[in-house]
């Protein structure tokens, strides 16, 4: 039976994502009503700059006092699309204190304080949904939390940041400079308010922490995720990758150890073969491989950033939370029962691509090879190009623990015949 009293929604934030949420709520109002079984009403919009013109938003709904909006007594659901830690965290807990379920797109906050927020939602008997926090429009959180809840996920690898994929794609395909590509990604609404979060890998690391927690039913915090950004990736790296039949992507890789007793979570640029499906993920698209014991390999692909795609994920959560509210139920909360430790990066087994500048004289190659051997690292290929008594050497290793690989690089740097280590990059996806 259709309920006539509307479910009232407080929209906290009305920027790139929030303005699209408001637009879709208005234009699809009848469909949303039919799908939920009750009308949903935009009852208030909290922003920072009240005088800004906001197309399609009734100015009477706009306030700068988000707390008062949540406390006024008639709000059923809050959508938090402000971003950052504060005031978002306090507003979400205020919502729970006032019987209001929450939909959020805030990966930074969930990666930092997810456990406390989930606990607060559970104590209050309310929902905390966050599909939009990971990989924009792509349904990933719900499939992993619900559809794969009966399987065992062993590995997740993907591109989870649209801005950096956009930049790397432009650098690779058009030779665009880093800053030019970043400016374009920012203008298109993909980048975070502070794009350092994107380019230094913090945004991808936050998403990695959230996905690892869901995949392995354990608690993984932002600080547990090994992180390297992509600001050091150069045109020379792309040229070197091309010679190997590879391209470069910023990857998030989450793995359960072979003995099942620990997990690892990391974000860093990596070379991947052009034949790998992730190599063809262009612009701000995201793609995530999930490897589960029974299901096998699943790939999720779609727009990873931008106002409308992210609003699609927010609206999906809004419908789910509204349905739960009408059924007087809540959706699944946090599942962290395995309590698996997160191992350090040194334990990860991977491959390195290392570019060295060395003296071009007898015995240098043998000296370099000995350095790898002493650290237990086996060499896969070596390419050397000499010029004027100097040579550039590109070494690609077989798989070895990251600690052994970084120990090798440290030792190489100390050799008199090694003038410099110009680039180190992991090789994945083979």
Q: Binding residues for ligand NDP, per CB under 6 A?
A: 13-18, 46-49, 52, 66, 81-83, 87, 105-107, 132, 136, 189-190, 192-193, 305-306, 310
Site for ligand HSE contains 162 (CB under 6 A) = yes
Q: H/E/C letters for each residue in 135-158?
A: CCCCCCHHHHHHHCCCCCEEEEEE
Does the annotation count 207 as an active-site position? Answer: yes
Among residues 137 and 246, whose Cβ is nearest to ligand NDP? 137
In the complex, minimum distance from the CB of residue 90 to ligand HSE, in angstroms, rounded to a whole number: 22
Closest CB to ligand NDP among 13 and 39? Answer: 13
CB 91 within 8 A of CB 113: no
- Pick one of ligand HSE, ligand NDP, none as the site partner of residue 161 (Cβ within 5 to 8 A by kind): ligand HSE
* Distance of closest approach, residue 226 Cβ to ligand NDP, in angstroms: 21
Query: Smallest distance from the beta carbon of 101 to ligand HSE, in angstroms?
Result: 22
Taking CB under 6 A as the rule, does residue 83 contact ligand HSE?
no
Interface residues for ligand HSE in 390-409 (CB under 6 A)? none
Q: Binding residue for ligand HSE (CB under 6 A) from 304, 307, 407, 429? A: 304
| Paired tokens of 149 | 């809840």
Q: Which of 117, 263, 305, 424 binds ligand HSE (CB under 6 A)?
A: 305
Contact at 8 Å (CB) between 17 and 106?
Answer: no
Position of minimal CB gap to ligand NDP: 15
Does 161 help bind ligand HSE (rule: CB under 6 A)?
A: yes
Collapse the DSSP code of 278 into the 3-class scheme (helix H, G, I; strand E, B; otherwise coil) and give the result. Answer: helix
Which range binds ligand HSE by CB under 6 A, 6-14, 44-52, 159-167, 413-421?
A: 159-167
Count residues near ligand HSE (CB under 6 A): 11
3-class DSSP state for residue 233?
coil
Biggest alpha carbon–alpha carbon distance for the chain: 86
Q: Which helix (H) or strand (E) holds 352?
A: strand 349-359
Stretch that binds ligand HSE, among 27-35, 186-194, 329-337, 369-377 (CB under 6 A): 186-194
Q: Does 307 interact with ligand HSE (rule: CB under 6 A)?
A: no
Compare residues 307 and 429 and give the one whose CB is closer to ligand NDP.
Answer: 307
Q: Cβ contacts of residue 362 below 8 Å, gap of 6+?
A: none
Counting contacts by CB under 6 A, is residue 190 touching ligand HSE?
Answer: yes
Question: 334: which residues sit within 8 A by CB, 6+ positions away?
Answer: 114, 115, 118, 119, 122, 213
Ramachandran quadrant class, 320 (left: phi over 0; alpha: psi -120 to 50; beta: rest): alpha
Rounded to whole angstroms, the Cα distance separating 242 from 172 reads 9
DSSP H helices in 37-140: 66-71, 88-97, 107-124
Pick the catalytic residue: 8, 170, 207, 325?
Answer: 207
Checking DSSP bridges between strand 285-292 and strand 296-303, what pairing results, if any? antiparallel
Tell me which of ligand HSE, ligand NDP, none is bound by residue 17, counting a contact when its beta carbon lies within the kind-specific cut-off of 5 to 8 angstroms.
ligand NDP
User: Minimum CB separation from ligand NDP for residue 47, in Å?
Assistant: 4
Q: Which does 198 bind (CB under 5 to 8 A by kind): ligand NDP, ligand HSE, none?
A: ligand HSE
Task: Report d(CA 227, CA 195) in Å as an integer.
Answer: 16
Q: Which stretch binds ligand HSE (CB under 6 A): 24-32, 156-164, 173-181, 409-417?
A: 156-164
122-141 residues in contact with ligand HSE (CB under 6 A) are 136
Alpha-carbon span 164 to 155, nearest angstrom: 22
> Which pairing describes strands 390-397 and 379-387: parallel, antiparallel, or unpaired?
antiparallel
Residue 334 near residue 118 (C-beta atoms within 8 A): yes
Rounded to 10 deg, the angle between the 364-374 and 402-414 helix axes is 140
Least separation in angstroms between CB 14 and ligand NDP: 4
Closest to ligand NDP by CB, 192 or 317: 192
Tokens 């070596």 belong to which residue? 382
**198, 200, 228, 402: which one contacts ligand HSE (CB under 6 A)?**
198
The least distance separating ligand NDP from the CB of residue 97, rounded to whole angstroms, comes to 18
Q: 13 is in the binding site of which of ligand HSE, ligand NDP, none (Cβ under 5 to 8 A by kind)?
A: ligand NDP
169 binds ligand HSE (CB under 6 A): no
CB-based burial label for 60 (10 Å; 0-12, 13-18, 19+)? exposed
The CA-atom distances, in angstroms, between 139 and each of 38, 125, 127, 293 are 24, 24, 18, 20
For the bound state, the minimum distance from the C-beta of residue 179 to ligand NDP, rounded and expressed in Å, comes to 20
Active-site positions read 207
| Interface residues toward ligand HSE, by CB under 6 A | 136, 161-163, 190-192, 198, 203, 304-305
């Amino acid at each position: 039976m259709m309920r006539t009293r509307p479910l009232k929604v407080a929209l906290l934030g009305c920027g790139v994502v929030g303005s699209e949420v408001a637009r879709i709520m208005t234009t699809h109002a009848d469909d949303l009503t039919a799908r939920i079984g009750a009308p949903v009403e935009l009852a208030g919009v909290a922003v920072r700059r009240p005088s800004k013109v906001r197309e399609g938003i009734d100015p009477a709904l706009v306030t700068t006092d988000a707390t008062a909006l949540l406390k006024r007594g008639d709000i059923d659901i809050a959508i938090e699309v402000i971003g950052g830690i504060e005031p978002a965290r306090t507003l979400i807990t205020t919502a729970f204190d006032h019987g209001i379920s929450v939909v959020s797109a805030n990966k930074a906050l969930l990666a930092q304080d997810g456990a406390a927020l989930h606990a607060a939602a559970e104590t209050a008997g309310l929902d905390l949904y966050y599909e939009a926090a990971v990989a924009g429009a792509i349904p990933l959180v719900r499939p992993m939390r619900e559809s794969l809840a009966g399987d065992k996920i062993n590995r997740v690898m993907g591109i989870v940041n649209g801005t950096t994929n956009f930049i790397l794609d432009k650098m690779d395909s058009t030779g665009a400079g880093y800053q030019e590509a970043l400016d374009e990604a920012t203008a298109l609404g993909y980048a975070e308010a502070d794009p350092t979060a994107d380019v230094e890998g913090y945004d991808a690391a936050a998403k990695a922490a959230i996905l690892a927690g869901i995949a392995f039913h354990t608690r993984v915090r932002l600080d547990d995720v090994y992180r390297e950004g992509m600001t050091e990736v150069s045109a020379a790296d792309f040229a070197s990758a091309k010679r190997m039949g590879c391209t470069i992507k910023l990857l998030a890789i989450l793995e359960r150890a072979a003995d099942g007793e620990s997990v690892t979570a990391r974000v860093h640029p990596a070379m991947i073969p052009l034949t790998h499906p992730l190599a063809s993920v262009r612009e701000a698209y995201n793609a995530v491989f999930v490897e589960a014991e029974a299901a096998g390999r699943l790939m999720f692909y779609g727009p990873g950033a931008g106002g409308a795609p992210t609003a699609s994920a927010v609206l999906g959560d809004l419908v789910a939370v509204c349905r739960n509210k009408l059924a007087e139920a809540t959706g699944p909360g946090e599942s962290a029962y395995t309590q698996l430790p997160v191992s350090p990066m040194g334990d990860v087994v991977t491959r390195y691509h290392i570019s060295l500048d060395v003296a071009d004289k007898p015995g240098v190659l043998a000296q370099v090879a000995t350095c790898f051997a002493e650290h237990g690292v086996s060499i896969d290929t070596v390419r050397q190009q000499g010029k004027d008594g100097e040579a550039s050497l590109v070494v690609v290793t077989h798989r070895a623990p990251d600690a052994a690989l970084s120990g090798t690089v440290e030792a190489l740097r100390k050799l008199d015949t090694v003038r410099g280590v110009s680039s180190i990059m992991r090789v994945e996806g083979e």
